Amino acid sequence: MDFHPDLIRFLKKATRVAALTGAGVSQESGLRTFRDAQTGFWQQYRPEDLATPRAFARDPKLVWDWYAYRRETAKGAHPNAGHYALAAMEKIIPEFTLITQNVDGLHRVAGSQNILELHGSILKVRCSECGTYADEWDEGLDVLPRCSKCNGYLRPAVVWFEESLPRPQLDAAVNAAQTCQVFFSIGTSGVVHPASALAHTAKAAGAVVVEVNAEPTPLTAKADFVFHGRSGEILPGLVQAVWGE
């Protein structure tokens, strides 16, 4: 793939880069997106009806079991070339911030370290009452695991519908968007707020905006460089073209 000389020049000179990733990146590792049709037992439910505080209050065991199923699926997935390309960028660029809407932990497995997990992590659990994170818990029991500190029910450490994003991570993401020289929007529809505003924040602050996505999004018309295709193919090619790695 040929990359515009201006993009290569911008990246060679850049010392501050931010990247936002969405479900499309994980999809290339074989993980179903959140809104994909469910399979097996879970096809009778809509994800939107399971991922809310009200759903957990109504039937905590059902919600816990759904996330346990999704957690095991995530553990069985492997990072793809796009994940590894972003990890490579972090090692090259002095200030590289990876902002992700994904909860599967694949960026960390690929070697990325400076990660802002806006929607939390499906691999972690915390108490629904006191918020304490649990290092270990019993899986597969008929009863819901409880917090060792206050005996409240444990829940997945993800952001549900009707819940706010964690303020420290969101503030850090906005700061990265405001101060970066190049901003990547990768594998995301660009419609989930407030993450969808980050690219526009970066653009308004003078950053070069690069979109990598399977299909056009609301951001496409405003991005400086647009690539329609698989991030697992485009990003490694870009890293090779810019840094020869």
Closest by CA position to 128, among listed 155, 166, 151: 155
Tell me the pTM: 0.94
Q: Tens of pLDDT along the chain (245 residues)?
A: 889 999 999 999 999 999 999 999 999 999 977 665 455 665 777 777 889 999 999 999 999 999 998 999 999 999 999 999 999 999 999 999 999 999 999 999 999 999 999 999 999 999 999 999 999 898 766 889 999 999 999 999 999 999 999 999 999 999 999 999 999 999 999 888 899 999 999 999 999 999 999 999 999 999 999 999 999 999 999 999 999 97
Q: Where are the domains of the chain?
A: 5-31+79-119+165-243, 40-75+128-158
Q: Distance (Å, rounded) from C-alpha 181 to C-alpha 148?
A: 45
Q: What is the pLDDT of residue 47?
A: 78
CA dihedral 112, 117, 121, 125 (to 10 degrees): 120
> Token pair for residue 6?
């201006």
> Does the active-site annotation cover 119?
yes
Sign of the four-CA dihedral 133, 134, 139, 142: negative
Q: Which is catalytic among the residues 4, 78, 83, 119?
A: 119
The 10 Å Cβ neighbour count of residue 13 is: 9
Kindly state which CATH superfamily the domain 40-75+128-158 is placed in: SIR2/SIRT2 'Small Domain' (3.30.1600.10)
Q: What is the pLDDT of residue 42?
A: 58
Q: What is the pLDDT of residue 41?
A: 60
Closest by CA position to 4, among listed 179, 234, 245, 217: 234
Report whether CATH 3.40.50.1220 matches the domain 5-31+79-119+165-243.
Answer: yes
95 DSSP β-pair partners: 16
Total residues found in the chain within this entry: 245
